[in-house]
Structure 1
Amino acid sequence: MQPIKRWDYAGEGLVEHELPPAPWELVDHWVQDARARQDDKGDVPEPDAISVATVGGDGQPHVRTVLMRYLAQDGPGFYTNFGSRKGLDLEQNPRIAAALTWPPMYRAIRFTGVAQRLSTQIVTDYFRSRPYGSRIGAWASHQSQPVTTRAQLEAAVASYEEKWPDTGSVEDVPLPDFWGGYVVRCDEVEFWAGRSSRLHDRLVYVRTGDGDLAEPGSWRVERRQP
């Protein structure tokens, strides 16, 4: 058996007096730090990659990594085909967990709560911002469903490209009615900061009111053991 390579998570840590009264400010700050780190050092190759966990009607959990293409004071979010595994899971059980993890920075943020669909206007604006190929791909892929060969998928792409040629307009490919987005309405937001000897800091905002991530009166903070 090969020896296990061990790392000492010698990060800056996190202490209570550094926390804002609501989680939004620190969520935004850490995300911006991760994006800046990628621009500067290049060792956080996809700072917006977020792992999303759902549970199907049969009780089977599923987890996958997607891109966080929505982040606002109401929570982090992502876009998907509603017929995908995560879409079908959330239709049966809207409870969700998600995590942003940046190992080189010894930082992570965990979100738990309920998934809510984003408005049609928000989804439309985002869909129109996508590259042409990605908009075509949303139509061509029956996400999470079996496909016999890659050639079958490529043929579907070609068919939609013929139907809706690239005109350079944001309106050349319509928004599919089976495609949209979710935001995580958080009940908890945990900030994980690495420390030496595995004595990490875990500071958790727990919801106490109905406000969003920026509402101070809607949260209390507790420290949890690593």
Structure 2
Amino acid sequence: MATHEHHGQQQSLQNEAAQELLDKLGNTISPELLIHALTHRSFAHEHPGMPNNERLEFLGDAVLELVSTETLFTVHPDLPEGELAKMRAKAVSEEALSAIARDILQLGPFILLGNGEKDSGGADKDSILCDTVESLIGAVFLEHGIEGARITVHRLVDATLAEVATEGPALDWKTSLTVKAHELGRGEPRYRMQVSGPEYQQIFTATVFLGEEENSLAEAQGSSKRKAQLAAAQQAWHSLSEHGQEHGEAR
């Protein structure tokens, strides 16, 4: 009897937690579809016959891109296509969506992972968090169409869309650094890469040089080559900006 009661309490806690997640999404999703949206391929692999969330993620990715594009197009009537594309890329990037998964949805504990993936910290991996946000958006679209999906996407992404609009060079630090270097009559940025750490948790270090200059301008680390280069470009851009201002004042 006690076990039965315990199971009932557990079930009720799970239901409450699921309801909290749905409240944050601003929408309802049927229990079956919600489980489908939260099922990572590693879990499905260990439970034959269970569908994983990759098709939903594929659908959600397109819905997210459409609604984000629609928002940027409406909110920024004067911006050219290139700027809008950069803003959208930043707002729906793995980095941005995994932050939404952590900060807004507290999604990690809900994701159904296989044992190996669970043991290696899969519930906090950017790629898995990002994909699951997209699959949830796909599930909302399936149940409520584009109108319902708009509600969820606006709720999750509008703050990020507003933020990227104010970031300027942060939309693409590497491009911004190249432009800044040209403005100051310096050479083209080049990146020297180093990799350290074990295979499953590599750390990339990017060092930025300008043209043929021997002295490096900045150095930064990241969990991928791209992240390390962007972080180094960001530091280098700030360094050049300060340097440019000093020279301007000296004149």
Same fold (TM over 0.5): no
Larger radius of gyration: 2
More helix by share: 2
Q: Which has the higher contact order (CA 8 A, sep 6+)?
A: 1
More strand by share: 1
Q: Normalised by the shorter chain, which TM-score bucket?
A: under 0.3
Question: TM-score normalised to the size of structure 2?
Answer: 0.20
